[in-house]
Amino acid sequence: MIRLEDRLITAQNIEQARHAGARLGRACQIAGVDPRTVQRWQNGQGLTSGDGRPRAVRPVSAHALSEVERTRIVQVANEPRFGAATRAHRADAGR
């Protein structure tokens, strides 16, 4: 991920190079950014709000354990019979 401040500086430098006659592809290549990335920054909110991935809402997988299942697994794993077992052994015991 590129920080918002770095995006702004990079976009400004690329735009300055373009005004000086450089093509977008070559300016992006020198800056180390894909031209399509710069286009997305300019067309969307990429230069005002930054990368939205950290704030994205991610749904819980249908295969995820419920809190009850997770609690039960931890209880079983902490039983005395598994006290001396390594993690690998504990994983095999559940099969």
Q: Tens-of-pLDDT digits for all 95 residues of the chain? A: 778 888 889 999 999 999 999 999 999 999 999 999 899 888 877 777 777 777 888 998 999 999 999 999 999 888 888 777 666 665 555 55
Q: Specify whether 48 is located in the same domain as 88.
A: no
In Å, how far are 1, 13, 23, 61 from 30, measured between CA atoms?
18, 10, 11, 40
Please tell me whether residues 41 and 73 are part of one structural domain. no
Count the domains in the chain.
Answer: 2
> Is 93 within the bounds of a domain?
yes
Asked if residue 25 is part of any domain, the answer here is yes
Domain assignment present for residue 59? The answer is no
Q: Are 44 and 77 contained in the same domain?
A: no
DSSP 94: T
- Give ∠ CA 8-9-13 in degrees, rounded to 5: 115
Q: Are residues 41 and 75 in the same domain?
A: no
Smallest CA-to-CA distance from 14 within 24, 1, 4, 5 is with 24
Domain that holds residue 70: 64-95
pTM, 2 dp: 0.55
